[in-house]
A and B are shown apart, each in its own frame.
Chain A
């Protein structure tokens, strides 16, 4: 079978990968079935060691699967590598890569030649991409003098040299600071939106990143896909009750009075943590309200008047992907990586996949 633009961008069937290792062999992937349509923004979300990088390596022809087949736009990763390499590209994060001695522009031009562009066409394309990724000022700087974020932008420029049909991104914002991570994300989104059909497969262990960028997500753990769906679909799976965050000016008698109302599962005082830390401290009472269904809210609102309380704010709390993960695996996502995180460049609290539920207004 040969490739075509009608074929799925990614079509993996029963991909298994076992690494031969010292004490005993490691099964990094234990039967992955995955289909990504052309034009999709697809995310692989999973904790450290889930097998995300292994899957990307197989799909990008860096590594052979132990069993199973995978096709990129119909081309087999094991036998049609050259064709796949022309229409895909990859960028990995969290690494300091580059030929330090070359200038940024030179290194990119070198790759443009490896991608079969003509000499002059190569320079034109490189300059275009350097501007697009925001490295104009560094174009003639030695690679060794670029910052981590600038190197990653250069890496993106390399990845876009062949204008890939499918772009594989392995934790592309790992180790970047807040603003560099944001500009990398904007870059990805902007690139994909420019031409319909451009496909992205992104791995990440930042919940918020997956949530923000991906149209569909596969949650992976220990080499298996536990669930696939849009972020909203995945969250809906764990949402059996309605959770509200209720902020009142005061509440005589505490939240106990609310808990006894019909349709209310629980009403518990939350830590008073206003969304904006710079806001003046208010004497507000914040209550996490769990209802059997949304309609029970009416009774609560009616009862508040009798308790002499006024609503300052009311928001429905959505479950986060973290909640989905906990539900699926029975353990937290970041359980074993807090130590690693503390050595890293600080990331946005938003991005760090904080366990508290994210609120949507």
Chain B
């Protein structure tokens, strides 16, 4: 019944208990990302995929643009690039941060595979990050299409020659790391929950939306919220991408009367200042996420939550 292929010898090889370090990590990451992409993107249902990954971000950007039009009139047109970029990036943040948390919940509640993933010798966080990257990729598509719609349909002035490619490359990399770190925190939180918690990630991310200058500048917020915005890496990331794509455009951070102006003395942060702030705040968040995830995983293991399902 079990063929000879399963027989690997009379004796066990004690070396089996050792792994191969980085090779194993890369392999797990790659596999989780590739099959995660297949699972997250839901290719089997292109309509659903289109609605969630393309239509939703584009629609939310358009709603904001038209609201702006109604409120600000013709003056709103000048702010379109600001809104389009912020909104596109935001959908990227949502699918990244919520995506990883949902991967954890999906695996535990829906697929009931989290425990099998967990008891594999592979690094748990590496597999989760692989799944998260797949979600980020889906989010990046939505963001790209939103930008394209902004340029083509709304006539947002966009000039490839103007783009600060170096700045763009730096902030995209740092931003992706930061988003993954936030996603890991969210995943650790969702691992703790005993009841249905599918809404948590979106609620948390939605709250951040208001304070990171995604669609309106920080300067309109009360000072404590501005302070919160200034320590959030997402604020600097969005500002950096804006500055790279539309150099000289309005900034979400500075402006007359802003907290930034009071603290730094300049009207707007320079590209260099944006990168440094993103690097520092991003590093803090990444470090914190590593610690939080470790303790979250340990807590979940201690309480028997790794294979907890709410339905049973």
A residues in contact (CB < 8 Å) with B: 3-5, 19-20, 54, 57, 60-64, 73, 75, 82-90, 92, 95-102, 106-107, 109-111, 113-116, 119, 128-129, 131-132, 158, 160, 162-163, 165, 186-187, 190-191, 194-197
Contacts and interface: CB of A to CB of B under 8 A. Distances in A.
Contacts of A194: 2, 4, 6-7
B12 interface: yes
A85 B17 CA distance: 8
B2 A163 contact: no
A4 B113 contact: no
Given A100-B111, A113-B31, A116-B27, A131 B3 contact: yes
Contacts of B306: 62-63
Contact of A132 (B1, B12, B116, B302): B1
A75 B1 contact: no
A190 B304 contact: no
B69 interface: no
B44 A62 contact: no
A98 B113 contact: yes
A4 B19 contact: no
Contacts of A190: 1-2
Chain A contact surface mostly = mixed
A19 B302 CA distance: 9
Given A60-B119, A61-B119, A101-B39, A128 B113 contact: no
Given A99-B39, A165-B12, A195-B10, A87 B17 contact: yes
17 contacts: A62-B119, A62-B307, A63-B306, A82-B19, A85-B119, A86-B19, A87-B12, A96-B112, A98-B111, A106-B35, A106-B38, A113-B30, A114-B117, A163-B8, A187-B1, A191-B2, A194-B6
Contacts of B9: 195
Nearest to B35: A110
A86 B28 contact: no
A62 B301 contact: yes
Contacts of B7: 194-195
Contacts of A195: 6-10
Interface of B: 1-12, 14, 16-20, 23-24, 27-28, 30-32, 35, 38-39, 42, 44, 111-113, 115-122, 127, 301-304, 306-307
B126 to A, nearest CB: 9
A128 B3 contact: yes
Given A99-B113, A191-B6, A116 B307 contact: no
B111 A99 contact: yes
Nearest to B309: A95
A171 B28 CA distance: 29
A160 B6 contact: yes
A113 B12 contact: no
A85 B3 contact: no
B304 A57 contact: yes
Contacts of B24: 116
Given A63-B301, A110-B31, A132-B1, A86 B113 contact: no
Minimum-distance CB pairs A-B, first 5: A97-B112, A113-B31, A190-B1, A114-B122, A85-B121
Given A109-B31, A111-B116, 19 more contacts: A61-B119, A62-B115, A62-B118, A62-B307, A64-B301, A83-B17, A85-B121, A96-B112, A97-B113, A101-B39, A102-B35, A113-B28, A113-B122, A163-B8, A165-B16, A190-B2, A194-B7, A195-B9, A196-B10
Contacts of B117: 114
A114 B113 contact: no
B111 to A, nearest CB: 5
Nearest to B120: A114
Contact of A101 (B11, B19, B42, B116): B42
A268 B242 CA distance: 93
